[in-house]
Amino acid sequence: MICDQYIIIRNAVNYIALVGNKALADLDEKAGYYGEKIVLEAQMLGLNTCWVAGTYGKGKCKAEKSASEKIVCVIAIGYGENEGSNHKSKSLEKLCALKKDDMPTWFRNGMLAATLAPTALNQQKFVIDIDGQDAVISAGKGPMTKIDLGIVRYNFEAASGHTCRKI
């Protein structure tokens, strides 16, 4: 299986379909959040993964769903030809209003993990800040930003040990 930043996937025969009720207002975010949990677990088991949201034929996806459900996206999963490559990340200062030296350790750990989270087209359209003792996140506008919000929130929470609420 090969997957790169331009979503070129070859020889991928297995995927995980993220399916949910169309009526859920935060379905895309939940798909991103719980999908990232699956992705990181798969990676720890030695499998390679790739998020695929806008560049595949949803009609060809064989996931079972009812009329009230939709396929949000899929995650290609398998053994890759390589371990992938790092993507460019925005600086912490562009993704957070706090200066790096002013960040509590738990928050800095969460931010570093958030910068490594995969986002659609590597755009990183999110901002994380502190409100009192809480981390808060907001998403910008663009393709798949709600899925990205869930992915980034999971990475932040897993690394920081703190909940990150959306605003």
* Number of helical (H) and strand (E) elements in the chain, helices listed first: 4, 6
pLDDT at 12: 77
Quick check: 7 pLDDT over 50? no
| Surface-to-core class of residue 136, CB atoms within 10 Å of its CB (0-12 exposed, 13-18 middle, 19+ buried) | middle
154: Cβ–Cβ under 8 A, 6 or more apart, which residues? 32, 33, 34, 36, 37, 40, 117
C-beta of residue 148 within 8 angstroms of C-beta of residue 32: yes
* pLDDT-based confidence at residue 8 (cuts at 50, 70, 90): low
Tokens of 123: 């755009």
pLDDT one-digit tens code per residue, 90-143: 998 899 988 888 899 999 999 999 999 999 888 999 999 999 889 999 999 988
pLDDT of 9 reads 63
**CA distances (Å), origin 74, targets 1, 18, 56, 77, 100:** 14, 6, 9, 9, 35
> How far apart, in Å, are the Cα atoms of 89 and each of 19, 43, 93, 95, 115?
29, 20, 11, 10, 6
Residue 68 reports pLDDT greater than 60: yes
pLDDT digits (tens, 9 = 90+) for 14-62: 999 999 999 999 999 999 999 999 999 999 999 999 999 877 777 788 8
Asked whether the predicted pLDDT for residue 4 surpasses 50, the reply is: no
- In our burial notation (b when 16+ CB lie closer than 10 A, e otherwise), range 43-59 reads eeeeebbbbbbeebeee
Backbone angles phi, psi at 149, to 5 degrees: -55, -45
Q: What is the mean pLDDT of the chain?
A: 89
Which H or E run contains 44? Answer: helix 27-44
- 92-166 in CATH: which number? 3.40.109.30
**pTM, to two decimals:** 0.91
Span(s) in the chain for CATH 3.40.109.30:
92-166
